[in-house]
């Protein structure tokens, strides 16, 4: 897994944190209240899952670290030029408890809940092994036992690490699909009760931005094994077209309502422009993300992360 890939996944996870739409009608009907409550409950479930996913990204980083110096087919020998070991992973007791509580709570989303349960199980299995490996290499025990324990740990890291990455990939795929559905419901709720206001345009940009990043990081040939892949260019082109329309719509609204936004509206144009720079290089490299991303990916991710943060702050959007 490349550093760019890991960063994208971390950011996409953060982006799953959503705020429920407000049902701002003078007298909300029972149906509207029920819909708002369901959206809020779904949001709480997503947020608990995202917190757990964010915390367990350390496992992916630890596997990356280990893979950077070990021949994964043959295992460590002790004769490697550099022996980096593995990162110690974080304790996830609190995040796991919150995720399991959310799993049992309504609304029940079978595909997502089952994927989360499998992911928790996979993390529980691999985390202790990585911590043992981290300690083993930090103490340089391999100099004493001639890498005997390292070879034993390697077999577990390959098996359990592969299962973890597969479980995470499945969870991300399910969450991406259901997050899109949740975003669409949220936008429809805002439009129904508030119209296509500043909050609607910002939400639309964020939804389209995430779709563009999703398309970027779904490379052909799979990424769970850490190998570089080829971007699905038709999917990315379609996402970029939708993002361009969304950003243009926000700019038009901003021109008519200059006081409707605070800091958020200054970022989408640059975000889109940098993605288009990457798109141009993808076209020239036949979709090779590693060759096309360059330093622009860092700026893209920084802008996206900033937009995620700003879009969730109170007072960002005003009806003028």
- Statement to judge: residues 257 and 313 lie in one domain: yes
Note whether 181 and 32 are same-domain residues.
Answer: yes
Cα–Cα dist 299/270, whole Å? 9
Show the CA angle centred on residue 178, arms to residues 116 and 214, nearest 5°.
95
- Domain annotation covers residue 11: no
**Are both 203 and 314 inside the same structural domain?**
yes
15 located within any domain: no
**Are 212 and 126 found together in one domain?**
no
Instruction: Please indicate, yes or no, if residue 94 is contained in any of the structural domains.
Output: yes
253 and 126 share a domain? no
The per-residue pLDDT string of the chain (320 residues; one tens digit each, 9 = 90 and over) reads: 343 343 344 444 444 444 444 444 445 677 667 777 888 899 899 999 999 999 999 999 999 999 999 999 999 999 999 999 999 999 999 999 999 999 999 999 999 999 999 999 999 999 999 999 999 999 999 999 999 999 999 999 999 999 999 999 999 999 989 988 888 988 998 899 889 999 999 999 999 999 999 898 765 333 333 445 689 999 999 999 999 999 999 999 999 999 999 889 999 999 999 999 999 999 999 999 888 887 788 889 889 989 988 988 888 888 76
Structure-derived torsion over alpha carbons of residues 174, 175, 177, 181, reported in degrees to the nearest 10: 140
Residue 167: which domain range?
28-185
Task: Tokens for 204, please give them.
Answer: 């639309």
Q: What Rg value do the Cα atoms of the chain yield, rounded? A: 22
**Within this chain, do residues 86 and 166 fall inside the same structural domain, yes or no?**
yes
The count of domains in the chain is 2
Its pTM surpasses 0.85: no
- The residue from 185, 211, 236 where one domain ends is 185
């Amino acid at each position: 897994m490349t550093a760019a890939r890991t960063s994208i996944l971390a950011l996409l996870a953060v982006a799953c944190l959503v705020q429920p739409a407000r049902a701002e009608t003078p007298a909300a009907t029972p149906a509207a209240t029920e819909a708002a409550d369901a959206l809020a409950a779904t949001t709480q479930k997503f947020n608990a899952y995202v917190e757990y996913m964010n915390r367990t990204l350390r496992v992916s980083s630890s596997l990356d670290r280990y893979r950077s110096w070990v021949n994964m087919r043959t295992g460590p020998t002790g004769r490697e030029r550099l022996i980096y070991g593995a990162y110690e992973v974080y304790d996830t007791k609190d995040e796991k408890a919150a995720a399991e509580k959310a799993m049992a709570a309504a609304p029940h989303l079978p595909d997502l809940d089952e994927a989360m349960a499998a992911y928790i199980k996979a993390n529980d299995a691999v985390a202790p092994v990585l911590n043992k490996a981290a300690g083993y290499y930090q103490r340089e025990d391999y100099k004493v036992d001639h890498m005997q324990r390292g070879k034993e740990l390697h077999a577990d890291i390959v098996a359990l690490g592969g299962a973890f990455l597969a479980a995470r990939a499945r969870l991300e795929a399910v969450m991406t699909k259901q997050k899109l559905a949740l975003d669409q419901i949220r936008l429809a709720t805002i439009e129904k009760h508030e119209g296509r206001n500043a909050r609607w345009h910002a939400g639309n940009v964020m939804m389209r931005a995430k779709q563009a990043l999703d398309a970027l990081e779904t490379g052909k040939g799979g990424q769970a094994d850490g190998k570089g892949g080829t971007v699905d260019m038709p999917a990315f082109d379609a996402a970029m077209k939708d993002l361009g329309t969304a950003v243009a719509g926000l700019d038009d609204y901003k021109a008519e309502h200059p006081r409707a936004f605070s800091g958020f509206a200054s970022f989408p144009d640059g975000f889109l422009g940098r993605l288009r720079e990457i798109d141009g290089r993808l076209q020239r490299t036949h979709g090779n993300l590693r060759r096309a991303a360059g330093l622009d990916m860092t700026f893209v991710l920084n802008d996206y992360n900033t937009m995620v943060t700003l879009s969730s702050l109170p007072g960002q959007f005003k009806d003028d």
